[in-house]
Structure 1
């Protein structure tokens, strides 16, 4: 399946019309999130790397034109003006792993109008999905309060490509490992895993299963203890680990039931057996809410394996994201629809300590004590910057999250951090609005006060 034809049909119909009307001057589109999902005090920007890779490969070939013609029910000749189109524009974006707020541009794409329009769908998809999952991942790290978190999401993400992205974002946000071998290998990131209940069931009893597993795998092992009865499973695991001298670095895994109560009982059994060094790993439908509640209750859990609910961001599975035209042929543009008003012009986010951000114009003087957040990552359709090593990204993200107001980091009912708008941007918004309203309505309507985003 062609990446080029993986798009919404209206991108093609609009691009064709632009070409017919000779509207090929540079256009800037801004990608942003209008509102944060429930229980989110901030977001973590992600997806720029894969979006840039997509843009650098973008080409419309003859086969793509044939597919578009078939979809539209039109002769191939009508679609030929698109053949040979590639992305030749400039991209400014927030580096991956940075905290972002509602209304702030994650990426701004400037290119000839047909090009900038054609790439909308995939750019928005890359940024929206990965920002959503990265934001869920970091909340698990916050909830874990220094305890290790590992990614077990691959088997239930919405496709293996999404699973690869989730594992990468887990690494980016500070997880200790992933069950996803491909991502672990690609990123030199620890691969982690235990055993399934089916493995235990395949043997005559738990002792035989645990012994066979430990004999097969040298070094520390993790034994799944809740296939039948958890407490007896912990006792069997303790007996096997002691008999084989394999306690150091090893762990048991709890995957079901009342994890709080079971973790207390498991810890008591292990300690009574003199295995204080054996860790307890918890899994089974966990996310930041469950992790927060378990640790708040004092559960003696050392490692949290999060999977399904994090890999699909179950409580907030989408972002209210948009990709809107803000400038064409040097002229600032904006949308006036009720509740979806956008701000005009190319923008910059000026970051101050604590993410007290100011959204301003791209060419305005930065406010005192601020640094610009968006960086130029592509010129002439070619990459000009690359993501720093993951360890560096993790360190910066950790520091930035630590600077957020405590209320924004709360797991339940956080208070979102809100960016302010610079005076030059506010003034431009008023001027552009008046210009549009005069052109559309012949006058400026009275009493309009829609909220401006992006």
Structure 2
């Protein structure tokens, strides 16, 4: 493990914003540290101009909570921090308090891979106010990027259907950790494999690769380079044909394919990485078919995303598989999800709950109060709408009993399920393949009008009566207090 990785794993509690710690000390001084509080994590706007996101990162949340604690080294560092007047920022009594902290509370979350929509909570923390506050930065970090990239992968693979997509973005990722998160998230989102070998080892993701231009340049002769590669990998040979002249490269690939065929093997495919991919793929397909190589695939790569793939397919490109790198792994066109973590309810000294909401001139920044859950309604297996409700109002709303999956009689799904209870995780780990299949099942179940790349219709997300009532009451209360 590198010193960088060791630093992250050894000091997870310090991987936070300073104001989380200063607020925590403030709560402690007020005697509010152990007051129960509820925070909701959600996003304000779906990314990439779409209407949905694919929730990702819940497994990482569990692993983080297992390891979350302040080490002696952490506390020694905090003791050195100074306020603007030169005094010690954190008192020793508070640091002693932090030394004994472990996470204890309740975390609910949607199952990893669930399709989610703007403003609906997809992770909920109920714990002591101080601890719940301290988790904000890390939770946003853990789920924000992973959800963003999983969503991008879902959009790219939707555009490419029925062709497979391989994630090629390791070299352009914002660091090693981001590359691993992205490889895992893109597989969940629908990619069939990754070029990232470590991700393959860690999560059993299929690893795929061809060759770089440097292989051909090293030989100086394309025909010789292709033949040498075919000799090394006769059963998994894919040749990059655009190092010099693409059409000539296809001719050389055909020569190699014929020799492989004579020896009982086959050329798996050729890769186009530049130029007019429509015209070149059409010409390459014609040449391959005329040579009796109908089974040789044409793989395209080179600054691809869902929009370019859609345009290429609409223009008649003869491409069978897609290698998508930078614009997928980095979420190139929208590198951050508008994910937030907001206080929604808090207990007073007598244990009574009080709702909280942010009231803003920007309607998108207003939040929902209460202890919220989300219920998805289905008709004949097809999602129809989501309802955000306060669990304290379940009788009023006459919802059926909560179930782990679906209520067959009512056609509903409780989206928020226990991830952590008390001091122990209750998360049932699933393989990435199972999560990926879950995503594909949802993409097949949702009406296409909600999944379009452009101009998608907003999926109905409704507030239950009790939530609307609480929101209205808090607004009126705020107006009464305002001068």
Tell me by how many angstroms 1:289 deviates.
0.8
Aligned equivalents of 1:295, 1:416: Cα separation in 2: 26
Equivalent of 1:303 in 321, 343, 364: 321
Aligned equivalents of 1:67, 1:415: Cα separation in 2: 51
Aligned to 1:389: 431
Residues 185/216 of structure 1: CA separation in 2 closer, same or farther (3 Å cut): same
Task: Say whether the 8 Å CA contact 2:163–2:320 is kept in structure 1.
Answer: yes
* 1:351 corresponds to 2:376: yes
Aligned to 2:279: 261
Aligned equivalents of 1:131, 1:106: Cα separation in 2: 11
Aligned to 1:333: 356
Equivalent of 1:46 in 51, 56, 69: 56
Equivalent of 2:156 in 130, 140, 143: 140
Tell me by how many angstroms 1:437 deviates.
4.2
Aligned to 1:99: 115
Aligned equivalents of 1:398, 1:362: Cα separation in 2: 30
Equivalent of 2:224 in 208, 216, 219: 208
Aligned equivalents of 1:362, 1:65: Cα separation in 2: 38
Aligned equivalents of 1:176, 1:249: Cα separation in 2: 20
Aligned to 1:291: 309
Aligned equivalents of 1:243, 1:351: Cα separation in 2: 57
Q: Select between 72-81 and 180-189 the one with higher mean Cα deviation.
A: 72-81
SS for the counterpart of 2:49 is coil
Q: Select between 218-227 and 62-71 the one with higher mean Cα deviation.
A: 62-71
* Residues 270-289 of structure 1 deviation map (CA, whole Å, 9 limit, x = unaligned): 11222111100000111111
Tell me by how many angstroms 1:153 deviates.
1.1
TM-score for the superposition, normalised by structure 1: 0.93
Task: Say whether the 8 Å CA contact 2:25–2:90 is kept in structure 1.
Answer: no
SS for the counterpart of 1:348 is strand
* 1:407 corresponds to 2:431: no
Aligned to 1:168: 184
Task: Say whether the 8 Å CA contact 1:350–1:366 is kept in structure 2.
Answer: no
Aligned equivalents of 2:53, 2:445: Cα separation in 1: 14
SS for the counterpart of 2:419 is strand
Provide the aligned length of Structure 1 versus Structure 2. Answer: 441
Report the RMSD for the aligned CA atoms in angstroms: 1.8
Structure 1 unmatched ranges of 5 or more? 443-454
Aligned equivalents of 1:35, 1:99: Cα separation in 2: 14
Task: Say whether the 8 Å CA contact 1:220–1:247 is kept in structure 2.
Answer: no
Aligned to 1:422: 464
Tell me by how many angstroms 1:247 deviates.
5.8
* Residues 290-314 of structure 1 deviation map (CA, whole Å, 9 limit, x = unaligned): 1111111121111101110011111
Tell me by how many angstroms 1:372 deviates.
1.0
Q: How does 1:6-405 map to 2 (within 5 A)?
A: 6-23=15-32, 24-73=34-83, 74=88, 77-78=91-92, 79-80=94-95, 81-245=97-261, 248=266, 250-329=268-347, 330-339=353-362, 340-353=365-378, 354-363=383-392, 364=394, 365-366=398-399, 368-405=410-447
Tell me by how many angstroms 1:230 deviates.
0.6
Aligned to 1:445: none
Structure 2 unmatched ranges of 5 or more? 1-6, 348-352, 401-409
Q: Select between 280-289 and 177-186 the one with higher mean Cα deviation.
A: 177-186
Tell me by how many angstroms 1:12 deviates.
0.5
Task: Say whether the 8 Å CA contact 2:260–2:267 is kept in structure 1.
Answer: no
Aligned equivalents of 1:305, 1:5: Cα separation in 2: 38
Aligned to 1:446: none
Aligned equivalents of 1:5, 1:390: Cα separation in 2: 29
Residues 61/84 of structure 1: CA separation in 2 closer, same or farther (3 Å cut): farther
Aligned equivalents of 1:315, 1:132: Cα separation in 2: 11
Aligned equivalents of 1:263, 1:366: Cα separation in 2: 55
* Residues 37-82 of structure 1 deviation map (CA, whole Å, 9 limit, x = unaligned): 3421211111111122111210012211222333445266445232
Aligned to 2:482: 441
Aligned equivalents of 1:247, 1:277: Cα separation in 2: 12
Aligned equivalents of 1:355, 1:215: Cα separation in 2: 55
* Residues 372-391 of structure 1 deviation map (CA, whole Å, 9 limit, x = unaligned): 10001101132102232333
* Residues 122-151 of structure 1 deviation map (CA, whole Å, 9 limit, x = unaligned): 101111111111110001111012111111
Task: Say whether the 8 Å CA contact 1:30–1:323 is kept in structure 2.
Answer: yes
